[in-house]
Structure 1
Amino acid sequence: MGLMDKHAVIEKNATLLLVGSLLVVTVGGIVEIAPLFYLDNTIEKVEGMRPYSPLELAGRNIYVREGCYLCHSQMIRPFRDEVERYG
């Protein structure tokens, strides 16, 4: 039984294909997520950082709710019309 024959068996059997796909996705998820549990801290401390004041937090919530961050951000604009419009 050659490699292509084994491949054809997996393609024809939907249950086997589903189980194989779930197995691959599960292993990939574990490989990506498990190391995070063994790190002491996944967030680096930055000097000068402080929590937002209540007024700053309220302003930030409005900024996000109204969608202001869509135009007023430092996002890279890959499309020509956006570069011409926003710089």
Structure 2
Amino acid sequence: MRADSGPSYDLVVDAYADGRKVRGVVSGPDAYRDTAVMAVEVAIRLAAHTTKAGALAETEAFDAAELPDAQVPYDITWRLERA
């Protein structure tokens, strides 16, 4: 499924610890559509009761690579870059 309308985006996050830097980049064809796609994926996983209850960060509730990998069919990609 490819979205041919609207501008594409890159969401860039830099993390620093112990003198090291890691950059995470999420890219996709349409930020509004992709936000909805990600929200539905999270809702499906929460409805399946496969995570512990409570207020959790995304990486506490879901595998850090599995959730972003599930977005690939929607042309949403991610990568980590070490600097």
Fold in common (TM above 0.5)? no
Identify the structure with the greater strand proportion.
Answer: 2
Of structures 1 and 2, the one with the larger relative CO (CA 8 A, separation 6+) is 2
Give TM class, smaller chain.
under 0.3
Give the TM-score normalised by structure 1.
Answer: 0.24
Give the TM-score normalised by structure 2.
Answer: 0.25
